[in-house]
Amino acid sequence: PSIPTSSVIGVIDHHALQSKTLVTSRPIFVDIRPWGSTCTLLAEDYASYGKTPSRTTAGLMLSALLSDTLNLKSPTCTDRDKRQVAQLAQQLGIKDIDALAGDLFAAKSAELASVHVRDLIQGDMKEFSFGDASGGAQSPI
């Protein structure tokens, strides 16, 4: 990992743990749920504590949620993701989620246009070990 494992106090994620993902010398907090976005977990945590994220935080969470779930069209998108998008959009006064998602994807596409194809492919590659063999897997772009 890019940070010392001794600094890790917890993991909140929506991806499955893979072999050798993280090894710690002491127990840590782990919250992994099979939802479309980690921001759904965070939004539900806010609600469970009776808190409302700030406008800036809500905007970041909504944007990340739309990106992770491909505007709620990803096969990993859940009803919880959809509920959180609706709640965050309502909090922010956003009426047209599709327009926001379109703007986000256009900005991301413009940014990625200058990135070399090799870097795009390797940027999110997951490496795995299978006994003495190893390999990698990448989601289609």
**Quick check: 4 pLDDT over 90?**
no
Residue 14's region, left for phi above 0, alpha for psi from -120 to 50, else beta, is: alpha
Query: Can you tell me whether residue 30 is helix, strand or coil?
Result: strand
Quote the pLDDT of residue 135. Answer: 56
Give per-residue pLDDT as tens, 37-94: 999 999 999 999 999 999 999 999 999 999 999 999 999 999 999 999 999 999 999 9
Give per-residue pLDDT as tens, 78-134: 999 999 999 999 999 999 999 999 999 988 877 777 877 777 666 666 665 555 655
Q: What is the mean pLDDT of the chain?
A: 84
Q: How many CB atoms lie within 10 A of CB 64?
A: 16
24 touches 5 (CB < 8 A): yes
Quote the pLDDT of residue 136. Answer: 54
Quote the pLDDT of residue 113. Answer: 74
Quote the pLDDT of residue 60. Answer: 95
**Quick check: 141 pLDDT over 50?**
no
Instruction: Using alpha carbons, list the distances in angstroms from residue 66 to 48, 86, 129.
Output: 22, 11, 32
13 touches 38 (CB < 8 A): yes
| Per-residue pLDDT band at 18 (split at 50, 70, 90) | confident
DSSP bridge pairs for 31: 12
Quote the pLDDT of residue 44. Answer: 94
**Quick check: 138 pLDDT over 60?**
no
